[in-house]
Amino acid sequence: MTTTPHGSALDELRAAYHEQLTRLAAERDAARRQARRAQAQADVARADLASLKSRVAELLNAAARHLPDLPAVEAPDAPERPAPRRALPAPAEERPARAA
């Protein structure tokens, strides 16, 4: 009877597991980057929309001054902006040492 060494099978399994973990971490990081880009784009779109609403109100009010049948428009209320998000601090082993 010959037996196959269990070490090589275990090493292959360990390598496959490590490769999968690395791939999943890369996919997670890519998804996080995509989510940050989408959030930034949404913030810009909201700001653009608020600016456009304000400009339209200005134009309608300017037109109302020249056209008596056109009622004046109130400027849209500025939407409450959420506080800027801050990144979580890096784990202790990743933080640079502070100079004393």
Specify the residue for token string 């990144």: 87
Specify the residue for token string 């779109």: 45
Domain extent for 23: 10-76
Closest alpha carbon to 81 in 48, 51, 31, 47: 47
Walking along the chain (100 residues) 10 residues at a time, the average pLDDT comes out as 67 96 98 97 97 93 83 64 54 51
Per the structure, the count of domains in the chain is 1
Q: Is residue 29 part of a domain?
A: yes
Q: Is residue 2 part of a domain?
A: no
Which ranges of the chain would DSSP assign to H, the alpha helix? 6-66
Q: Is residue 56 part of a domain?
A: yes
Q: Is residue 99 part of a domain?
A: no
* pLDDT for the residue numbered 14: 95
